[in-house]
Amino acid sequence: MRDLYQGERIIAKAHPSRAKYIPYYILTVLLLASAILIYLFSEKELLALSLALASIIPVIYAEASRTRTTYVLTNFRVRLIRGSIRKTIDDVILSQVTGVKVVKGLAGSIFNYGDVLIDTGGRNVYEIVLKCVSNPEWWQTQITGLIYRMQPPPPPT
């Protein structure tokens, strides 16, 4: 990230978890296995070759989709960057965050990924959602810890 403010430092940078794209990887394995079986037990070598070449398409799609989304946590803000040619960048300043929520489904609990919802309290929607991030509780702890450190100390009693 080239546009850091003075004194701002990157704490974490990540992409969505590969676990989100497991169906694409499974499809690739099934297509490749089908191509191998057709090649071994049939005389349709061209079909087997075509199927083998087509089997890489789901993986290419999954990896391209995954790497086009980046989550960045700094000591000042949370940034969501989407796209490669036409980029969309969403920032939430940590001092504006009113809540951080983690949502995990069954697969997320098994593979340790989930969504981190960052609320600014201004509307009835979450400002930024870090979708399918690995270890979402770590992100939640880091964000809330940074917010806590930004708060002024309580007045003496």
Dihedral angle over CA of 24, 25, 31, 32, nearest 10 = 160
pLDDT tens, per residue, the chain with 157 residues: 678 888 899 999 999 999 989 999 999 999 999 999 999 988 889 999 999 999 999 999 999 999 999 999 999 999 999 998 899 999 999 988 989 999 999 989 999 999 999 998 776 666 899 999 999 999 999 999 999 887 766 677 7
- Name the DSSP class of 116: E
Three-point CA angle 126, 153, 121, nearest 5°? 15
Does this model's pTM top 0.75? My answer is: yes
Q: What mean pLDDT value characterizes the chain?
A: 91
